Amino acid sequence: MNRPIIQAGMGPYVSSPFLANKCASQEEVQGTVSGVAAGPILSRLLQRGDLGGHFRRALSRFPFSGVAERILQKYFVDGGIPSGQKFKPVPIFSLHPSQELIELSVAATFAFVFLAKEGHGGIVSMNLLEKMQRMLMPEIFGAVLGGVDVVTMGAGIPLQIPAVLDAFAQGKASSYRVAVLGSKEGSETICFDPQTFFGRNLPVLKRPEFLPIVSSDVLASIMVSRLPSGAIQGFVIEKHIAGGHNAPPRGKLTLSETGEPVYGARDEADFKKLQNLGIPFWLAGGRASPEGLAEARTLGATGIQAGGLFALSNDSGWDHFYRWKMRFLGYHGKLAVRTEPCASPAGFPFKVAQLADTQSDRAVYEARERVCDLCALAVPYQKENGDIGFRCPGEPTPEYLRKGGNIEDTESVRCLCNGLLSAVGLGNPGERPLFTLGDDVSFLRRLMKSPTDSYTADDAIAYLLGKSET
């Protein structure tokens, strides 16, 4: 499965099942579908009418027909909800989620993988965020049930994932320790037993390969030392110039004159040490070129992971107008991307493309009614009475402070949940989009003949492999 190119998971529905399908159908590429917030996304796609019937087709192949029928009955709207109408909300994940929410999450990732794998024998991975711990087990099980080949995961240290994959591949129960702020124990253990939940024996499933996304050889070495042999099949080593969440700089955080984190020599990976681990690795961040792929191989890597290159292609899930705008600005060298140290409620630095009329504009965001209705990045905390609550620095500030949060956490944070869903056309009315992209878009001038030109995922792959005629 060690292909030279991994198409990255660039954000919720940016790396859609259809982009992943197109990429994975080429033998040199591992296509990736994002599983982040898969349940809410599936519910909104069905409410929009499921144009083309793709998700209903996928659900018709879900092994538990009663579950699929309940999901369609609740969320599918023939012809789609009227323009300007809010989407029907999905229940929020707690440490003890409802049956309805677990069913939706399992079915959603199953459907995403099914569509990504449909019609070819290529390699499909699902990308998830370790930071979103509450929903990981149902999402992972749905992907395994769908036959996903690989799981990639960043935004945390995913030491618990290999055991989850082992258990689910055998249809067995698994558990996960979820961090709880203020808890004496530091965490709460949640369990998911798919056989008991679905009420029937499960077939033996394929155990996906696992590729953690880390920033350095140090973290890769720690994971290898703490896990049994064979738990990890590879690493993606992501440099801080990549899009999405970035690892914070090692050591004391220092900000530049523009207010961005300053990275130094300690943040550079030691490729010789990575080679000595004896595990394949791919390089991500600023490598989206034939030269970047060649250099990665000389450094001992199997290949590269590329995100922005595919996100800006015609095949991604991004809104057409903003995708065109980013390509236009990027072609002219005028697309600014900032590494915001506090934009993400997750607490990691986050890359934000600076575009008018989006959440990147502080005035636009401050004019937004502050709501936290998706709560994907809300974190559990222990209340004074011992109960578990949830809070997010992106929620209304008085609510966050009432729950024991610090005012400093709220000042520059953006609502990633609503902003990123709006970026793929799945936001509620009035929600402005937010776009994340890596620093390097130099590939645009080599893929496009003019600032108004465009390109497909196939064009991007041909370019990386040195087969492009552009």
pLDDT at 156: 81
Closest by CA to 160, choosing from 92, 98, 216, 228, is 228
pLDDT at 204: 81
- The pTM of the whole model exceeds 0.85: yes
With beta carbons less than 8 A apart as the criterion, state whether 435 and 423 touch. Answer: yes
Closest by CA to 116, choosing from 201, 174, 207, 31, is 31
With beta carbons less than 8 A apart as the criterion, state whether 291 and 298 touch. Answer: no
Domains of the chain in sequence order: 5-318+454-464 (3.20.20)
pLDDT at 441: 94
Other beta carbons less than 10 A from residue 231's beta carbon? 17
pLDDT at 469: 61
Structure tokens belonging to residue 279: 């595990």
E-only strand ranges, 324-445? 337-340, 350-353, 379-382, 388-391
Alpha helix (H) residue ranges in 343-456: 362-367, 397-402, 416-423, 444-447
Burial 200-210, CB ≥16 within 10 A → b, else e? eebeebebbbb
With beta carbons less than 8 A apart as the criterion, state whether 352 and 360 touch. Answer: yes
User: One digit per residue, pLDDT tens: the chain, 470 residues?
Assistant: 689 999 998 789 999 999 999 999 999 999 999 999 999 999 999 999 999 999 999 999 999 989 999 999 999 999 999 999 999 999 888 888 999 999 999 999 999 999 999 999 999 999 999 988 889 999 999 999 999 999 999 878 899 999 999 999 999 999 999 999 888 888 889 999 999 999 888 878 999 999 999 988 889 999 999 999 889 999 999 988 888 888 888 888 888 888 888 888 888 888 999 999 999 999 999 999 999 999 999 999 999 999 999 999 999 999 999 999 999 999 999 999 999 887 888 888 889 999 999 999 989 988 988 888 888 888 898 888 888 999 999 889 999 899 988 898 888 888 889 999 999 999 999 999 999 999 999 999 999 999 999 999 999 999 999 986 65
* 87 Cβ neighbours under 8 A, 6+ residues apart: 43, 44, 47, 81, 426, 428
